Amino acid sequence: LPRGHHMKELWTYWVEQLGLDWQQAVWYDIPPPGTSRPSLHVLQQVLHALADRPFSFHLYPMYLNDDVRKMAHSSGFPVIGDAEEHELGHLSEAKSWLHERARHEEPEILNLQGTRVLIPAGHTAYSKAELLRAWRDLTYRKKGSKIFLKPSRGSGCVGLICDATEADVHTASFHAGESVILEEEVTASK
């Protein structure tokens, strides 16, 4: 967790309310503005703090690359997870694997070990024209449903627009070779 007064207050609340231990948090200093590769700066602090813990850890980063793997191994931590360069494509676009381009069928229902999992209806678009076609299709088929608009490269809800409007679709930006996803909101009642 980032070191700071408000975060420590929040962590204290979580410790009291959820029965957590104060030592379950790993604290780091927020890198100063202009720091080259701030995520690696934070990772270095976190690995250093974990090295003093009497437990064994595996590192499971959201985006695994060679720099992260080398830092973890040099600190004595095994790494698990898939590398950013994956046989299916860039892992940062994993969300787009859920929806094919211009997919027109109803939401799928998968049966995984006896549990039904609803896959939301959606489209992956690689251009403004595809995104507009996807918008027209989804809003026609899913009248009254909220539509989510999200860049496939966004993680941690970065760039996510809940209950998107047509104006949001018109202002969506595309980065070279990356996609934007439109998908219906899935609720427990569906």
Beta bridge partners of 180: 125, 151
Least confident of 82-86, 121-125, 131-135, 163-167: 82-86
- Identify the DSSP state of 127: S
Q: Where are the alpha helices (DSSP H) in the chain?
A: 5-18, 38-51, 66-74, 128-141, 166-171
Half-sphere exposure of 116 (CA within 13 A, CB side): 7
Stated pTM of the model: 0.50
Q: By CB neighbour count within 10 A (0-12 exposed, 13-18 middle, 19+ buried), where does 186 fall?
A: middle
Q: Is 113 left (phi over 0), alpha (psi -120 to 50) or beta?
A: left
Q: Using one digit for the tens of pLDDT, what is the confidence trace for 60-91?
A: 877 778 888 899 889 888 887 766 666 655 65
User: What's the chain's Rg over C-alpha atoms?
Assistant: 21
